């Protein structure tokens, strides 16, 4: 059965750390896939405002975007079609936990990332990892969630705190983003559920999907897809979950996936 959809993580899959755009060869291949009727989706921990074409340095327009680890689903025009938000009580509990343990914490809202705790430390961390600080706001007054609730959060903390925070907030899901840092999502939001919501509306089965990723937040989707592909730069345990391991992001592993599993003149 030919694959009808391709779901791609962004950071560490389409884009190298420290870079800001998708490789031109990959952009051309993705556009060629779309002209052949293959649905192409981006699946990312980034929010909607941090995953559009201007942010990714490309004129490629995905058919769908599954953002904030599945908490935001957008169409090609950028309209939000489906969303999940962290409940107010969990926002308060996460914030109190971060303050009590002096942990940097930021929440993902509609317009920006608001840093609720350890503002200077978080800005330094983000600058070191991303090289810039777009969309960061000082939210240490901790009132932004009274306007609208967040789609997710990001907390920098030692692994020893994982179990305690999970027990404190059963309505959230914790996923290790990097050593010493975690994505926080509503418990019913992740890439697998977000992509599943999308596929059901397209009449496409998971068995017709190729999913490519490199991180913990990709694990469930890689297992569910008809073909789960781990990047060559993925951790060993992510590679063991995948059906195939492609080249690293530095070696343009996504292009290799398109050429091998979709064929044609890409």
State the Cα–Cα distance between residues 252 and 249, nearest whole angstrom.
Answer: 5
Q: Which position has the token pair 């692994």?
A: 159
E strand or H helix at 190, and its extent?
none
- Structural domain boundaries in the chain: 5-83+189-261, 88-186
Strand segments (E) across the chain: 5-8, 39-43, 64-67, 72-75, 80-83, 105-108, 113-117, 136-138, 152-156, 172-178, 181-186, 209-213, 227-230, 244-245
CATH label, 88-186, candidates 3.30.1240.10, 3.40.50.150, 3.50.50.60, 3.40.50.2300: 3.30.1240.10
CATH label, 5-83+189-261, candidates 3.40.50.1000, 3.40.50.1010, 3.40.350.10, 3.40.50.2020: 3.40.50.1000
Token digits of residue 21: 């755009």
pLDDT tens, residue order, the chain (266 aa): 689 999 999 999 999 876 778 889 999 999 999 999 999 999 999 999 988 887 777 789 999 999 999 999 999 999 999 999 999 999 999 999 999 999 999 999 999 999 999 999 888 888 776 666 678 999 999 999 999 999 999 999 999 999 999 999 999 999 998 888 999 999 999 999 999 999 999 999 999 999 999 999 999 999 999 999 999 999 999 999 999 999 999 999 999 999 999 985 54
Q: pTM for this structure?
A: 0.93
């Amino acid at each position: 059965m030919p694959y009808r959809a391709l779901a791609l993580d962004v950071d560490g899959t389409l884009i190298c750390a420290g870079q800001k755009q998708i490789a031109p060869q990959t952009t051309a291949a993705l556009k060629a896939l779309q002209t052949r009727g293959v649905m192409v989706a981006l699946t990312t921990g980034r929010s909607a405002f941090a995953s559009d074409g201007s942010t990714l340095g490309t004129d490629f327009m995905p058919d769908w975007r599954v953002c904030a680890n599945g908490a935001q689903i957008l169409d090609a025009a950028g309209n939000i079609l489906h969303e999940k938000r962290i409940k107010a009580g969990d926002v308060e509990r996460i914030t109190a936990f971060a303050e009590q343990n002096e942990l940097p914490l930021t929440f993902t809202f509609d317009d920006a990332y608001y840093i609720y705790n350890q503002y200077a430390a978080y800005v330094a961390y983000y600058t070191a990892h991303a090289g810039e600080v777009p969309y960061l706001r000082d939210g240490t007054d901790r009132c932004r969630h009274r306007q609208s609730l967040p789609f997710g959060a990001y907390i920098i903390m030692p692994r020893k705190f994982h179990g305690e925070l999970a027990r404190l907030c059963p309505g959230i899901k914790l996923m290790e983003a990097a050593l010493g840092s975690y994505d926080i999502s509503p418990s019913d939001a992740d890439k697998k559920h977000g992509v599943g919501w999308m596929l059901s509306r397209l009449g496409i089965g998971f068995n017709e999907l190729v999913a490519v990723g490199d991180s913990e937040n990709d694990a469930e989707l890689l297992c569910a897809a008809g073909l789960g592909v781990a990047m060559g730069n993925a951790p060993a345990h992510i590679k063991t979950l995948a059906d195939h391991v492609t080249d690293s992001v530095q070696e343009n592993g996504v292009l290799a996936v398109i050429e091998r599993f979709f064929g044609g003149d890409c």
